[in-house]
Amino acid sequence: MERSASGEVAGVAAPPPKVLRIASEAEASEVAHHLLMLGRRWPVVVLTIPAGYDEPFGDPDEIEEAVGDLAEVVLMPTSDASWAFSRVMPCMTQVYGGAGRVYPIDHAWVSDPGRSRLRFACSLHDRKRITDQLISDALQAPMAAGLVEPRTRPGTQQRYGRAQGIIGSRALVVFDDMSVATVWEELTVPGLALNQVLVEGQSIASSYDRCSRRLDLRAAPRFTDLASALAGANEAYQIGDVVCG
């Protein structure tokens, strides 16, 4: 795979549309150099296959389907390839043995590996957990960095619906034609839990991606981050004001 000096795949203005499956030491080393190159425009999810297995414990295709417009997804075996990857990567930032991690756009993780959280999986019983963790990490990374604008896939449209229920970090939205979509906490207001952004029965107008059946609320709220929300509230209200909830 040919990459430009900025770290992008030559001729591509968005993350690769498919999971990159590493098959050699040279490819693994190239990915490591790509992660360390300044100018990378999107996060990279690296999921590994444990030694002795043909497939990973997490689901790379589900990750790609969920975050493919915002992040690159790489699948790497635990083998000589992962050793080649590890030799290039800084201490404590490697990944192998069935684990996975998301490498954010900025390079703070190079000196602080905790910014690229290592997600472990011990068997296929951990499939949903590690898949969900990596999806969440991949969605949070570009928002936290403030370096990636929301990407619009072909077929994205403006839709109107109503929140029917909130379960953890996901909400179900029903449109007028009774079709359904989901809202993901990571695609709303950074720093706020989803139940602080939406309530059951709330009307929603937002960008809808038909491929993922997901609503992107990042541009929908009046305030797009917690700091501006607090500043706006302080400007609008005084101590002692009574506000209808």
* Domains defined along the chain, listed by start: 20-145 (3.40.30), 157-216 (2.40.50.140)
Q: Which two tokens stand for residue 189?
A: 């207001």
Number of residues written out for the chain: 245
Is 130:58 a contact under the CB 8 Å cutoff? yes
- Amino acid identity of residue 49, one-letter, is I
pLDDT at residue 81 in the model: 97
- Buried b / exposed e over 197-214, threshold 16 CB at 10 Å, is bbeeeeebebbbbeebeb
8 Å CB contact between 60 and 88 = no
Query: What pLDDT was estimated at residue 75?
Result: 98
Q: Please name every residue paired with 46 in a beta bridge, in sequence order, or none if there are none.
A: 74, 101
- Write out pLDDT tens, residues 123-168: 999 999 999 999 989 988 866 655 445 555 556 788 888 999 888 8
**Can you give the pTM of this predicted structure?**
0.70
Q: Worst-scoring range by mean pLDDT, 60-69, 106-115, 224-233?
A: 224-233
pLDDT tens per residue across span 190-243: 778 888 888 898 888 888 888 778 888 876 655 445 565 566 666 666 777 666
Question: Please, are residues 189 and 198 in contact by the beta-carbon 8 Å criterion?
Answer: no
Please, where are the H alpha helices in the chain? Answer: 25-36, 60-67, 80-88, 108-111, 127-145, 226-236
132 SS3 class: helix
Query: Cβ(204)–Cβ(173) under 8 Å?
Result: yes
Nearest to 118 by CA among 109, 105, 127: 109
The pLDDT value recorded for residue 9 is 40
Q: What is the pLDDT of residue 189?
A: 77
Q: Which residues contact 76 (CB under 8 A, 6 or more apart)?
A: 22, 28, 31, 46, 47, 48, 49, 82, 85, 95, 96
pLDDT value at position 4?
Answer: 38
DSSP 181: E
What confidence tens digit (pLDDT) does each residue in 7-57 have?
A: 344 444 678 889 999 999 999 999 999 999 988 888 999 999 999 999 999
List the structure tokens of 191.
Answer: 């720093």
DSSP helix/strand/coil, 69:
coil
Element holding 55 (H helix, E strand): none
Tokens 């209200």 locate to 237
Q: What pLDDT is attached to residue 232?
A: 62
pLDDT of 64: 93
* Separation CA 157–CA 210 (nearest Å): 8
Say if CB 102 and CB 117 are below 8 A apart.
yes
Query: In this predicted structure, what is the pLDDT of residue 50?
Result: 97
* Predicted pLDDT of residue 154: 58
